[in-house]
Amino acid sequence: MTTSAKLEPSDARRDGDQADGRSEKDESWGSFIAFVLKLVLAVILFRTLLFAPFTIPSESMLPLLRNGDYIVAAKWPYGYSRLSLPFDAPFLKGRIFARLPERGDVVIFKHPYDEVDYIKRVIGLPGDIVELRGGRLLLNGAPVPQDGAAPLAIPLSANTGCHPAAHERTTQEGPVCDYPSTIETLPNGRSYRVLDLGYGPADDFGPIAIPDGRLFVMGDNRDNSQDSRYAAQPGGGVGLVPADRLVGRASMILFSTDGSAEWVKPWTWFTAARWDRIGKTL
């Protein structure tokens, strides 16, 4: 006679509960992994298609940008290439939705040689003739208008020093550096303030015609900027920047620090913040 084991109702409920428990646990882990993958994908798409963060490590774009600024750049204005992708992943050939910047745009681009991110202002577009005489910018043979301005006082801090050719003084708010400055206005009406410390080695340049697919860029801190006035070389000048090297257009300052914060002293994270710069559009 053959007998079969009979599962009592109580055992059935108990085994069923255990089976349901394993299913819910597996489903929970699966949901968590799916959430993480979706989050990673969303971050990648956001950084690739919309915005990406950058830090400012130098004073070449003073007074607009200071050492210690954390900015966000819009990725879509000039199209997308492999340089738009995280880690410069080689999934795109050429540039899609390509568009040239406008004169006056503050752009982020990859250095032609060392792949480092640089930030400068676009001055000349393909077909333009750019020249400097005594520090005065000429575009297509015409001097770019300049309006005189009073010396600009820039606060000094742990990450912002005073150029030897500028003037340092003390105010009630603390030490500042006075820079001679002027407001420059390009033919399309874009105005911005530039610093000029007097005659420098790149104050006489050109004339040079900008070929197709290239851009002439300069820093607003004219005597402290390795830009298109200098031949491209690793860690130095950038030459005429290929438009295909563009990464994005600077849009906003997300955060700014004067360099005095210490990781072991959390309260200094707040006292070091330049609150007046946060949220400033570029």
Active site residues: 60, 120
Closest by alpha carbon to 134, among 223, 204, 224? 204
Kindly report the backbone phi and psi dihedral angles of residue 130, in degrees, each rounded to the nearest multiple of 5, phi listed first: -110, 140
CA torsion angle 196 202 204 209 (round to 10): -110
User: Which amino acid, residue 21?
Assistant: G
- The answer to whether residues 166 and 178 touch, using CB atoms and an 8 Å cutoff, is yes
Token pair 């000349």 is found at 124
Alpha carbon 37 to chain centroid, angstroms = 27
Reading the block at residue 245, the tokens are 């090297």
Alpha-helical runs (H) found in 107-253? none
